[in-house]
Amino acid sequence: MISVRLLCLAGLLAGAVSCSVPASSSQGRDVSERATAMAVEEEDQPEREESAGSRSMTPLAVKDPAPVVRDRINGVVVSSQRSLEEAEASCEKARAHLSTLVAQLASLRSTLEAAGVSDDVLARLGELEQDSTSLNGESVTLLSDLETEQSGVREFRDHLAEMESQPARDVGEVSAEKMSAIPWRKLEAEVSTYEGSGSLQELQARSDRLARGVAALVARFSRVERESLNSSAEEVAVSLSSGTESKEQASLRGGVSEISEVDDTLSPKGEIAEIRTSEGTLLLEFLPEDAPKHVENFKRLVKDGFYDNLTFHRILPGYVIQGGCPRGDGSGGPGWQVDNEFNAQRHRRGTLSMARFAHPDSAGSQFFICLDDRPELNGKQTVFGRVIRGEATLQAIEALADPNGAGTPAQVVEIEQIVLRPWEQGDNEPRMIAGNPVR
């Protein structure tokens, strides 16, 4: 705990080794000469630069060390608080996903037990339940530790303020004497020691591991759910053909019919895109009424085979996955640009939108799919479609983010092919559609 550490630091000498503290979570974003979701980048970049500057290790001035030390204190406190808030938000989001997953696991277990599935499938569900319990325990511990660290940062700030103000109270009103009495080098040593403690970096790493663990767990659940329900549906079909349907199977069949009816009410009509990736398939519907030029441009590129064998070169958990760059680094395009069609569509999980460079009319071939609600992008990026099936694929891709947060995937995620085809019965994923309405 920081308060205990501070008591031990009271007698430290000057010259302690210093180490930079990150201003934000591990999701660093390189925006130089790259197409991206510009709204977030443009707003975040100046703030990051400012906090980075405030943490620079400028040598203490001989005559007036006060500005340098004060800047360092402010930079460390502000950036630490921001990083802790980001880690806490990520942890809360992971807990929400876990809560939803636990409910889905219970529902699926009930359905499969009634259908009489094999013990092997139930054992896989048991493993998922154990892992979700373990991750939930980690999230509770992490939230407590983050709260302790936030309290510690406040104590640290107050402690340094007291070190500065006490000599001023003792000396009186003579400003020159106050300045000479304040232990600036001891203050600098305190800051350097806190920066070098590594406690903040450890909490950020734990938060990132938790987010990746939850994403991987949700992806595993989706695979088990899909495989077990498909297997159960086949058993029902066999029983129906032999006229020996059980009550449990009838219940399962009723549940499947219920889902199909929901699917019908949400079915889009017309042409859709099928993105075949190395991690699974995504189905996209278009919104030509909102962005006709972007839909036409995307379809043209698909028909030309432009996207085949490219990659998702950028993955930021809870933010976006981005692909469609022929150079594979976010700097390329098709050789032309499309005027913006900013519209009233909201950026939510599954939203398909165009990446662009700094100019509003600079979209080309690069697109991104949101992994969470991103209201800061609304009206600043062109939404032209949404994912209607492929939640498990999105989660599998998100889980491959670089653990260091650079945005580059930990392994290559290939866009094997994109094809256009008519919408067919069963293409929708009702759960995903329900969470991502058009309006």
pLDDT tens for 365-414 read 999 999 988 889 999 999 999 999 998 899 899 989 887 777 889 889 99
Which residues are registered as beta bridge partners of 323?
312, 367
Q: Is 296 left (phi over 0), alpha (psi -120 to 50) or beta?
A: alpha
Helix (H) or strand (E) holding 240: helix 199-242
SS3 content of the chain, % helix, strand, coil (to 5): 55, 15, 35
Whether the predicted pLDDT of 155 surpasses 60:
yes
Whether the predicted pLDDT of 55 surpasses 50:
no
pLDDT tens for 116-141 read 777 887 888 888 888 888 888 998 99
| Cβ partners under 8 Å of residue 165, min gap 6 | none
Average pLDDT score, the chain: 73
| Cβ partners under 8 Å of residue 80, min gap 6 | 21, 153, 200
C-alpha count within 13 angstroms, C-beta hemisphere, residue 306: 21
CA distances from 115 to 56, 111, 118, 222, 362 (A): 63, 6, 9, 18, 54
Lowest mean pLDDT among 15-24, 83-92, 159-168: 15-24
Q: Are 408 and 402 in contact (CB under 8 A)?
A: yes
Concatenated DSSP letters for 70-108?
HHHHHHHHHHHHHHHHHHHHHHHHHHHHHHHHHHHHHHH
Q: Which residue has the higher pLDDT, 39 or 349?
A: 349
Whether the predicted pLDDT of 285 surpasses 90:
yes
Q: What single letter denotes the amino acid at residue 199?
A: S
Please compute the mean of the pLDDT values over residues 200-213 and round it to a whole number: 82
Whether the predicted pLDDT of 328 surpasses 50:
yes
Residue of 273, 296, 355, 291 whose CA lies nearest to 320: 355
Lowest mean pLDDT among 232-236, 333-337, 343-347: 232-236
Whether the predicted pLDDT of 7 surpasses 60:
no
